[in-house]
Chain A
């Protein structure tokens, strides 16, 4: 079943097409990678899916329902959660309170304070931050802040999770930990779309990859297909003739 479907999704900033007529779909339970050079429109596409921006023209469907033009809070309550490229934590709240915001407001049903606290605790344990739950979020390291964002997103009980460059700026060990975390999230039955520049991670965890370039979809396929695609190699490394000269 397709959890998410986009049809001719387009977004202009002034005269520039940040995302141009991109068709995409996400199958239930898969991990979809979204790659492309800087400025390719990956984060814009995330913003369109999570309703921070509205596509014009184009439609986006979540579980068959047309969600184009919905407000972000509604998208979240329907079951789409996201993290941000630059961690957007609630800096002065404690780690625990950050996650509690997700379980309190994001689930779409009315949740008691005790229940939301229980869910928050559970998610903190899941991502391995239970030990620092009382610490103000601003005191966390970058890698922990990114984990906190994941915990906060998971606390909203999503069916689809959008991860925006979760591994940027992390060291080798932290990248390995993150890859393992993503696999554990999928094991819970949550579908994942991830933007990533760390190729090792993309190749390792993704079932399918979409490549964006200048706002257009230029390739789509399994990791093996993508690494062997001449178009993708050209975009990332330049044409063969350039390399020689």
Chain B
């Protein structure tokens, strides 16, 4: 029963992301044509706490967390090819914002603050590292996560005397709604970035950064700005998710798997289209929720196998598979006509 509810809501999310993708391809903005259906899908998602069992929206919150990490990661790293392993850092900054400010401030303020602190960190890190290309950038962003863990551990033990922190909990439906709100904001931001001239600039940076600079693109400014803007969603997601977990220490707040999984999910889904990372995140996060409870020892193993198979057989991810399939159907139609 819960699975059915979750499945319906995941399809609603997929529809919305497909719609964003479709709207991106339209020459003139005719987005209102389909917006009726998008509103219905949003209504399905918003009303879930009223008709679904508690577990269904708790599960959906967990899936949304991965979705937000994956989509915000892919908006920057997809077109530019700068593989950032910093999502765990931005997510963790959100968690610690929650731990420190959660007692005194209302939830929305805490979430917003978590996002803004992530932006500040991303802008700083971006300014010093985005001139590094390829493997250097990857290693640096990964090192950032480890560095923050060490500094935090040192700070906590030296000044507070305890390793972890308690976080003021929030209601499950509240967490779900805020997560959903972050997703909607993320989709709108993604649409606006891809639609704007900066979407084009990001692609040129990925394909030939030197030529892009000589064509009048301020490549450093574009890279830093988009890297920072997309990190706000990771920080906000961390801040709200922390309120479900209630107790955290530096290791669990800056879990490096939250840096790897978005990359894996985006590759699995395929980054050529907007709905690709959404598809990858939805499927893998759903599987994780299921496998984690039923086969706790095998799920990470199966993730590894899936990744290897996808890289070998589906270089464009599930998007590539979907496009191949639709082309074949269209081909058959044309042949029949």
Contacts and interface: CB of A to CB of B under 8 A. Distances in A.
Interface of A: 50, 52, 71-73, 75-77, 81-82, 84, 88-93, 97, 100-102, 104-108, 113, 152, 156
Contacts of A77: 216
Interface string B37-68: 00000000000000000000000000000000
B308 interface: no
A93 B212 contact: no
Interface in B285-320: none
Contacts, number: 69
B208 A90 contact: yes
Contact of B216 (A76, A84, A100): A76
A41 B203 CA distance: 31
Contacts of B210: 52, 84, 88
B321 to A, nearest CB: 19
Given A90-B204, A104-B200, A113-B197, A84 B219 contact: no
Contacts of A92: 203, 207
A119 B131 CA distance: 31
Nearest to B221: A73
B322 to A, nearest CB: 19
B216 A88 contact: no
24 contacts: A50-B214, A52-B213, A71-B213, A72-B214, A73-B214, A73-B215, A73-B216, A73-B218, A76-B214, A76-B215, A84-B210, A84-B211, A88-B208, A90-B203, A90-B204, A90-B207, A91-B208, A97-B200, A101-B215, A102-B215, A102-B216, A104-B200, A105-B215, A156-B216
Interface in B17-41: none
Contact of B217 (A50, A93, A101, A152): A101
Given A90-B203, A101-B215, A102-B215, 9 more contacts: A50-B214, A52-B214, A72-B213, A84-B210, A84-B211, A93-B204, A101-B200, A105-B197, A105-B216
B201 interface: yes
Given A89-B208, A90-B208, A152 B215 contact: yes
A58 B57 CA distance: 66
Given A89-B208, A90-B207, A91-B207, A73 B197 contact: no
B214 A93 contact: no
Given A73-B217, A73-B218, A101 B212 contact: yes
Contacts of B207: 90-93
Interface of B: 197, 200-201, 203-204, 207-208, 210-219
Nearest to A137: B207
A187 to B, nearest CB: 24
Nearest to A76: B216
A102 B197 CA distance: 11
A93 B325 CA distance: 23
Q: Which 7 interchain pairs have the tightest Cβ spacing?
A: A106-B216, A88-B211, A105-B216, A76-B216, A72-B213, A90-B207, A105-B217
